[in-house]
Amino acid sequence: MKKLSPLQIERLKYQPKLPSSLSGGINSLEIVEGEATQSVRDQEQIKELFSNTYGKPVVTFKSGSSRVSETRNVGVILSGGQAPGGHNVIAGLYDALKQANSSNKLYGFLGGPSGIIEGKYVEFTDEFMDAYRNTGGFDIIGSGRTKLETEEQFQKSLAVCKKLNISAVVIIGGDDSNTNAALLAEWFVKNNTGIQVIGCPKTIDGDLKNDQIEISFGFDTATKTYAELIGNIQRDANSAKKYWHFIKIMGRSASHVALEAALQTQPNITLISEEVEEKKMSLESIINYMTDIIVRRSNAGKNFGIAIVPEGLIEFIPEMKSMISNLNDVMAKMEKEGVSATFEAVESRLEPANAKVYNSLPTLIKSQLLADRDPHGNVQVSKIETEKLLIEMISARLSELKAQGTFGGKFSAQSHFFGYEGRCAFPSNFDADYCYSLGFNAFGLINFGLTGYLSSVRNLTQSADQWIAGGVPLTMMMNMEKRHGEMKPVIQKALVKLDGPVFKQLEQNREDWAMNDKYLFPGAIQYFGPSCVCDVTTCTLQLERAKQLASV
């Protein structure tokens, strides 16, 4: 038997909390339908592509009279990058499924979406499930990034589902994974397969959300994990008083993670990608902004500090964004033509202005921009060491100022990248409860015959018993975007709103935090103790919900 840590032993015993509507039993639910919905943008195009699943209403559950549930076999897929709480989504799904009918079966497809295509699976049992409750990671069945989008993939998925007599599939993933779920749901309905598809909102990036999806699971745990590490570094910096720490933090397409971590720790500098884009800040202007704070702190006798840098920053700097977009198209074309991506070959194919930007970058960054693309054909920004680029450029700028006699301080920098450290942590109590509820709720949607829906649990700043369970149509969150050089339907990413209460909180305190070391030290995630310590959710969600409630 595998040896477990004392914490894992205790976490396995934890019983997640459910919304009151679900705690009365999966077979004692009533469904309440709202108004018909439409996609966030490109309504005519999305409606045409999803003619069988478009326009469905948002639904919520309430306690009702008991009814009998038919026997069902369900398949579940973990898709995309890991996020704390994934195991609890499956645990909630499994428990609801077995509570509905003890003859029901749950099959886990191994290695992500490829598992349903290739017919690789495991059947869940009580003993198997009980070994993973309230634990981090996706190792229960593994994950993957295979896209479900072709006729051949759909046909193979259907054959596997028929073999196992599966009538519903739950896809646990982010915006791209749930786009796949929407495509699969549409195909299953179009071809009269009788197979339902339900999604669950996963991503630590926090960019899969709207009024019905208040937060994606894993965001709470990951940001608390990063905040602990940042707090530790801040304490070290404030002790040694000789290093500037540049911390790149996960979140490619949106800066929610960096913003939340900043609110929890109050560092000296926090860059927000969406602000950089909105203000059309050039790379030079970013360097000047950061250098100014470093010089002013040095003049105050503080040759140290903390700078938070979003992972995707480089794509939001206007000249870099233009160059990378052009580069992605060029790289896709070169790959089709079988041409090697050398510096010279790439530069000769880029538009002149973009070629100039690319040529101006350090060799290290130029090489990283040519690394293998992600499954969507885009540059893998996590492999671009933006924090080192900033350090190099700031060092050069400070050397110029020193030569001019306007900077007499010292600048020593350390670089960090916090990414994988937060993806598989033991889920916080909030994520353990939220994820379990999402999974339990997903089976409720299945039980009512729904398809093309995303499991939704909201009102999350209240105690778990007051959470509202239901579902939102996947097509409601979609728009058209360019992928691999072609326009495709995808779930729209939710970016940081610069006029929202979360960013405003940072903006109001920026100058104070820059010069006056008001560092916060969150410490490790707490699982046992008072609710105000163990169950409280993110600053982001609290600020957003406070504004929403104030406007009601």
* Residue-wise pLDDT tens digits, 55-87: 999 999 999 888 888 999 999 999 999 999 999
What does the pLDDT read at residue 376? 65
Alpha-carbon distances of 213 from 19, 289, 370, 379, 460, rounded to whole Å: 15, 35, 35, 28, 10
Q: Which amino acid is at 452?
A: G
Q: Half-sphere exposure of 117 toward its Cβ, with a 13 Å CA cutoff?
A: 16
Q: Please report which confidence band the pLDDT of residue 552 belongs to, taking 50, 70 and 90 as the band edges.
A: low
Average pLDDT over residues 389-410: 94
Nearby residues of 56 by Cβ (< 8 Å), 6 or more positions away: 36, 37, 450, 452, 453, 473, 475
pLDDT per residue over 231-277, tens digit each? 999 999 999 999 999 999 998 889 999 999 999 999 999 999 999 99
Res. 454: pLDDT tops 80: yes
Tokens 């060029």 belong to residue = 330
Interval 230-242: pLDDT, tens: 999 999 999 999 9
Kindly report the average pLDDT of the chain as a whole number.
94
Nearest in space to 206 (alpha carbons), one of 214, 197, 198: 214
Instruction: Quote the Cα angle for 154-156-161, to 5°.
Output: 90
Q: What is the pLDDT of residue 384?
A: 87
Give the pLDDT band of residue 509 (cuts 50, 70, 90): very high
For residue 106, list its beta bridge partners: 74
Q: Are 208 and 83 in contact (CB under 8 A)?
A: no
pLDDT one-digit tens code per residue, 119-165 = 999 999 999 999 999 999 999 999 999 999 899 999 999 999 999 99
Tokens of 209: 């959300």
Q: Retrieve residue 503's tokens.
A: 């960013």
Domain boundaries, the chain: 29-217+427-483, 219-317+383-423+499-551
From the list 2, 135, 27, 16, the residue with the least C-alpha distance to 448 is: 27
Which pLDDT band holds residue 421 (cuts at 50, 70, 90)?
A: very high
Considering the entire predicted model, what is its pTM? 0.94
* Residue 7: band (very low, low, confident or very high) from pLDDT cuts 50, 70, 90: very high
pLDDT at 472: 97
**What is residue 179's predicted lDDT score, i.e. its pLDDT?**
95
Average pLDDT score over residue span 387-413: 94
- Domain 219-317+383-423+499-551 in the same topology as domain 29-217+427-483: yes
β-sheet bridge partners, residue 369: none
pLDDT tens, 370-379?
Answer: 887 776 677 7
> What's the rounded Cα separation, in Å, for the pair 195 and 129?
24
Q: What is the pLDDT of residue 379?
A: 77
Residue 478 has pLDDT above 70, yes or no: yes
Place of tokens 């503080």: 302
Phi, psi of 114, deg, nearest 5: -60, -25
Q: In this predicted model, what pLDDT tens digit does every residue of 427-443 receive, in sequence order? A: 999 999 999 999 999 99
Residue 469 parent element (H or E): strand 468-473
Instruction: Compute the distance between CA of residue 256 and CA of residue 431 in angstroms, rounded to an integer.
Output: 17
Nearest CA among 266, 272, 236 for reference residue 253: 272
Active-site choice (95, 175, 176, 205): 205
Asked: is 219-317+383-423+499-551 a CATH 3.40.50.460 domain? The reply is yes
* 176 is an active site residue: no
Distance in angstroms (rounded) separating the CA atoms of residues 333 and 349: 10
Q: What sign for the dihedral angle of Cα 545, 547, 548, 552?
A: positive
pLDDT tens for each residue of 278-303 = 999 999 999 999 999 999 999 999 99
CA separation, residue 128 to residues 100, 117, 141, 439 (Å): 19, 23, 11, 17
Q: What is the CATH topology of the domain spanning 29-217+427-483? A: Rossmann fold (3.40.50)
Residue pLDDT, tens place only, 342-386: 899 999 999 999 999 998 888 888 888 988 777 667 777 778 899
Q: What is the pLDDT of residue 361?
A: 87
